[in-house]
Structure 1
Amino acid sequence: MKHGLSSLLTILLVGASFTLPTSAMAGPKPSPAQHAKPDNEVILKENSAQEANLKIEPVAEVVASTTEPLNGKIGFDENYTSRISSPVLGRAIKIHAQLGDRVKAGQALLTIDSPDMGSAVADYRKASADLDLKRKALERSKVLVDGGVVAHKELESAQADMAQSQAEAERTKSRLHNLGINHATFGNESFTLKAPMAGMIVDRQINIGNEVRPDAANPLFIITNPDHLWAIIDLPERDLSKVSLGQTLSIKVDAYPDEEFQGKVQSIGTMLDPVSRRVQVRCSVESKGKLRPEMYARVTPLSMSQQKVIRIPNSALITEGLYSYVFVETSHGHIQKRRVTLDLQGRDYATIKDGLKAGERVVTKGAILINSELAAGK
């Protein structure tokens, strides 16, 4: 009996040794969640194609804007611009300056064969000769009156004639002076049109042989200083209270999409256009030698209090339903999707009310690609 019981116990112990799982012997197995990445994160492999196609930049903090970007246009600063017409009638015989040339004040622009010039010179010579004659007559009258030869009224008549001749001589001399002619050195009937200021010739409306008229509708030359330009805004009535004199501006143009130009409000129109309900605002702009008149611009008035806000390019945003998201680099190769709250969104940039801090690195190019990978579970 004892031998049978001992055999039964031996069989049970051997069976238990075969049915005991090996995993139980090795202890508890780690949970898969301990090694899984978060659902809103993408991990990029070193030197992968995905990483090469991304552009990651630190978040920029800028001065807050008071309105959405306004449509504007770059124009001449009229304080540094001269539209030059001819003061005489004639015909162009020689052009001294070409479009795009930089000229100095007093530099010759155009030579004109002008009968008006000849008439002005002839009038001055005639008046000068008559003045000399009347001066001599006055001197003779004084001698004769002193000698008692003629009456005193003869002297008074000579003095009146002398005054009239002197006035005519001054008039003709002033005429030559207004034409820029030195009365002591004039020669033939040709007239030279000169630049009244230094700058660049940005327009020319004259060719050799063309008739030149003082009452022409268009100027012959336009000279301006290209370093001084205006940004002109047609400001909507609803935004009038958000713009004031001296306010700083951010100006962007299509030719330089990644560059900002600074400006300042110089003048605000005194009345609205009755049709468009807009008022014209002129702003000085630092062109850096890059801006050109007639360029279209997007002008953003900035906060007078210099309040700072977070700004990111629209290319960094992902919109899903009612919410907006960005991808933030939490560490090298780790990109995390984060929900943000927008404050103001324009054509190129958006300002963030909540969800980002200055200095954080955000995917600004390739956000759609990262979002697609995240949705695919990669």
Structure 2
Amino acid sequence: MKSNFFLVLAALLAACSQNKAPETQTPAAAATPNLPTSPDEVRISPAQVQAAGLELGSFTWKNLASDVQANGVVDVPPQNRASVSAVMGGYVQSVAVLPGQQVRRGSVLAVLRHPDYLKLQQEYLQSRARVTFLQQELRRQQTLDAEDVGAKRKLQQAQSDYASEQASLQATTGQLRMLGVSLNSLNQGRISPTVTLTAPISGNVATVRINPGQYVNPQDVLVEMVDPSHMHLELQVFERDVNQVHNGQQVLFRVPSQQHGPEMTASVYLVGKSFDPEKRTVNVHAHLEPERTDLIPGQYVAASIQTGAARQRTLPEDALVQAGEFSYIFTQVGPGSFRRVKVIAGAAENGDVALRLLAPLPDSTHVVRRGAYFLDAELKKGQDAEE
């Protein structure tokens, strides 16, 4: 009986072991890809490298003409600008010019009228007559003094009166000349209630700020004129580039209206010694070569100052990602791993762009020469995913 019991127990255990489900094997955890250690680092698979057509290489050294980019305006020297005002206040009787009109020096710009003009001319004529009388009186007293007949006091009084009135006449004469009143006509007794404003320089009328019937004060600017015979460029160069700019360097520039054709030329004449604390720029004055008449003072220009040829690091244009004032390149830091580096792009020649590195990189650095925009897109995609 006991042997049968053990046989039955063994059979039951064997049946249980056969019916027991196999243990589920937990698969090994998938290998977690290494995450970039820097926000400027991107990692891609070998398949992506091949699909994007990435081309690796190194910097190429070439002799390129270096330049400094600058913006500015067409301008004229201060002596080629004129602001016309009234010497004495008055009412505008007529305006003889329009904005943009070309006039010669001495041309009539406007006519003013006021009773004070009549009064000043009257004072001139009265003073002139009194000077004549006092001059005659002085001669009489000098004659009497020479004959030892007249009193010394009367001679001294005559001398004083004559000198005082002569000074008054000279002052009144100066005021009338500033007003533009003809003294020849006035000496003939012709008094005019009007005065004319004339052009102090030859050039173009820039603005006209008066109209008939308007009262103007001496401090008001009535007409502005510009003489475009000697135009130049006023350029703004960033503080970091100003040490490369020197007198005599050639400047190539364009204006917005010139989309095609050769660039216009100028030469650096003066480099400023102070900079704008807000824009961090220095003014550079350049003379046009040759002089031009098809430009307008105030026009915006985009210029390139040629600072000379130099041996520089270069990369193909496809290796750079443009980002405003700066550009970016990508360097290889490991298999499938690339780092974005900020640089400043310089002159371009035959598809190669000169670079200014903001941080030192050895010449042996592996650089992405083609496919930089693909890496930049992947970098931004990864940054957006993290956000």
Is the TM-score greater than 0.5? yes
TM-score range (shorter-chain normalised) is: 0.5 to 0.7
CA distance in 2, matches of 1:261, 1:241: 24
- When normalised by structure 2's length, the TM-score is 0.60
The Cα of 1:188 is off from its aligned counterpart by 0.8
Does 2:184 match 1:211?
no
- AA in 2 matched with 1:64: A
Tell me, what secondary structure is at the counterpart of 1:255? Answer: coil
Structure 2 partner of 1:260: 263
The Cα of 1:353 is off from its aligned counterpart by 8.3
Deviation track 1:100-150 (CA, whole Å, cap 9, x = no partner) reads 221111111100013442333223222212212211221221233344432
CA distance in 1, matches of 2:248, 2:294: 23
The Cα of 1:176 is off from its aligned counterpart by 1.6
Structure 1 partner of 2:55: none
Deviation track 1:247-302 (CA, whole Å, cap 9, x = no partner) reads 32111112102241111223333322222222222223356332222322111112
Tell me, what secondary structure is at the counterpart of 1:149? Answer: coil
Does 2:87 match 1:87?
yes
Tell me, what secondary structure is at the counterpart of 2:254? Answer: strand
CA distance in 2, matches of 1:150, 1:139: 12
| Structure 2 CA distance for partners of 1:81 and 1:144, relative to 1, 3 Å | same
Contact 2:316–2:351 under 8 Å retained in 1: no
Q: Which aligned pairs between 1:133-144 and structure 2 lie closer than 5 A? A: 133-144=133-144
CA distance in 2, matches of 1:254, 1:115: 51
Structure 2 partner of 1:165: 165
- AA in 1 matched with 2:132: D
Match 1:351 to one of 335, 349, 352: 349
- AA in 2 matched with 1:221: V
- AA in 1 matched with 2:228: P
Contact 1:88–1:114 under 8 Å retained in 2: no
Tell me, what secondary structure is at the counterpart of 1:94? Answer: strand
* Structure 2: stretches of 5+ with no match in the other structure: 1-63, 322-343, 354-387
- Count of aligned positions: 260
Aligned-residue identity in percent: 25
Q: Which aligned pairs between 1:220-299 and structure 2 lie closer than 5 A? A: 220-258=222-260, 259-285=262-288, 286=290, 288-299=292-303
- AA in 2 matched with 1:127: S
Does 2:113 match 1:109?
no
Structure 1 partner of 2:181: 181
CA distance in 2, matches of 1:136, 1:320: 96
CA distance in 2, matches of 1:151, 1:308: 92
CA distance in 2, matches of 1:291, 1:273: 26
CA distance in 2, matches of 1:195, 1:107: 5
Contact 2:180–2:195 under 8 Å retained in 1: no
CA distance in 2, matches of 1:66, 1:318: 18
| Structure 2 CA distance for partners of 1:77 and 1:147, relative to 1, 3 Å | closer
Does 2:207 match 1:195?
no
| Structure 2 CA distance for partners of 1:267 and 1:205, relative to 1, 3 Å | farther
Structure 1 partner of 2:151: 151
The Cα of 1:89 is off from its aligned counterpart by 0.4
CA distance in 1, matches of 2:276, 2:194: 46
Contact 2:92–2:110 under 8 Å retained in 1: yes
| Structure 2 CA distance for partners of 1:156 and 1:291, relative to 1, 3 Å | same
CA distance in 2, matches of 1:320, 1:162: 89
Tell me, what secondary structure is at the counterpart of 2:109? Answer: strand
| Structure 2 CA distance for partners of 1:354 and 1:289, relative to 1, 3 Å | same
Let me know the Cα RMSD of the aligned residues.
3.0
Tell me, what secondary structure is at the counterpart of 2:149? Answer: coil
| Structure 2 CA distance for partners of 1:308 and 1:206, relative to 1, 3 Å | farther
* Structure 1: stretches of 5+ with no match in the other structure: 1-62, 310-316, 324-343, 356-378
Contact 1:89–1:115 under 8 Å retained in 2: no
